[in-house]
Amino acid sequence: MIEVKELTKDYHIRKGLFKPFNIVNAVKGVSFSINQGEKIGLIGLNGAGKSTLMKMMSGVLKPTSGSVRVNGFVPYKRENSFLKSIGVVMGQKSILLYDIPVKDSLKYYKEVYGIDDKTFKERLSYYDEILNLKELYETPVRKLSFGQRMRCELCASLLHNPKILFLDEPSIGLDAVSKLAVRDFIKRINAEKGTTVILTTHDMQDIEALTHRVMLIGKGQILLDGSLEELKKRVSDKKEVRIKHSGKTPTLCEGMNYLEQKDDKLKISLDPKMISVSEGIAYLSRETELIDLEVSDISAEEMVARLYKEYQI
């Protein structure tokens, strides 16, 4: 559905009228493909090229060279049928009309996309069920909190039921309740409507909750592309063991290392190549009085930190 080949974007910037142009290679010859229904997370430090890549896929920017095809369309040509097949939500930019009530903004997009009354009603009630919009319909957009606006933004961007949703930092600046509502919404439209979701994020919970495939972008290139599980394994096959104890702090045996210690809680990394998980647990329970125990793979956050280190980005 999305085919990207040798895609490149250079920005030409100059700091003054008579100054020479500087070239910034924001995206450097990347290639990948994405299938219908995938949930992709683009991660990387600021300036890595994530937004530029997303803007080329969504038709906001014309590539310098290489090609991008989205459902057969060339995005930057911005043909109507292409625009009707995508939804774009950029955290900082609003597509809602500032001074009028939310419901009128939604009606405006109903007309823009030529949606009939019955479908409009059905979609609104579907979106309202997940995003709790009804109470906001009469409020002018300028009076909405950021979280409320984001919920309305999602509704307006998806009113036409696009096949692909592009999201730039969907949960940045959101309060906890809106964050969950937004995540729930994205998960549901993917599961129930098969919408392809492509998002950039710095939020590791977003990645855990919303993506099944992660692309790590660094200096305009794709450094890694794989499932979260694969990436975690690649970085480390170590386990994280968290315990709460009421006895003395246990000394650790070979194959275990302290990660964090706070009062009666301890975070340990365990190397299964040196000691099996069950041996490790047996050892710890001999060492101290265990109250609680949890074994997990390393967290997404830690994974990303290590990847950044590995690739020195």
Give me the residues that bind ligand ADP (CB under 6 A), please.
11, 13, 24, 26, 44, 46-52
**Cβ nearer to ligand ADP, comparing 16 with 114:** 16
For the CB of residue 169, give the shortest distance to ligand ADP in the complex, in Å.
Answer: 9
**Cβ nearer to ligand ADP, comparing 26 with 165:** 26
Please say whether the beta carbons of 270 and 245 come within 8 A.
Answer: no
**Cβ nearer to ligand ADP, comparing 47 with 226:** 47
Tokens (6 digits) for 123: 């979609």
Please, where are the H alpha helices in the chain? 50-57, 80-83, 102-112, 117-131, 146-158, 176-193, 204-210, 228-235, 277-287, 300-310
Smallest CA-to-CA distance from 124 within 155, 100, 84 is with 155
Smallest CA-to-CA distance from 185 within 128, 146, 120 is with 128
CA dihedral of 22, 28, 34, 38, whole degrees rounded to 10: -70
Which residues touch 95 (CB under 8 Å, ≥6 apart)? 109, 153, 156, 157
For the CB of residue 57, give the shortest distance to ligand ADP in the complex, in Å.
Answer: 12
**Cβ nearer to ligand ADP, comparing 6 with 129:** 6
**Cβ nearer to ligand ADP, comparing 90 with 159:** 90
Smallest CA-to-CA distance from 241 within 261, 215, 216, 219 is with 261
For the CB of residue 106, give the shortest distance to ligand ADP in the complex, in Å.
Answer: 29
Q: How would you classify residue 44: left for phi > 0, otherwise alpha for psi between -120 and 50, otherwise beta?
A: left
For the CB of residue 289, give the shortest distance to ligand ADP in the complex, in Å.
Answer: 48
> Strands across the sheet with 2-13, in order?
22-34, 2-13, 65-70
**Cβ nearer to ligand ADP, comparing 163 with 219:** 219
Within 13 Å and on the Cβ side, how many CA atoms surround 126? 19
**Cβ nearer to ligand ADP, comparing 102 with 199:** 199
For the CB of residue 129, give the shortest distance to ligand ADP in the complex, in Å.
Answer: 33
**Cβ nearer to ligand ADP, comparing 24 with 291:** 24
For the CB of residue 246, give the shortest distance to ligand ADP in the complex, in Å.
Answer: 47
Buried residues in 94-110 as b, exposed as e (16+ CB within 10 A): bbbbeeebbbebbbbbb
For the CB of residue 11, give the shortest distance to ligand ADP in the complex, in Å.
Answer: 3
DSSP string, 48-93: SSHHHHHHHHTTSS--SEEEEEETTB-GGG--HHHHTTEEEEETT-
For the CB of residue 296, give the shortest distance to ligand ADP in the complex, in Å.
Answer: 29
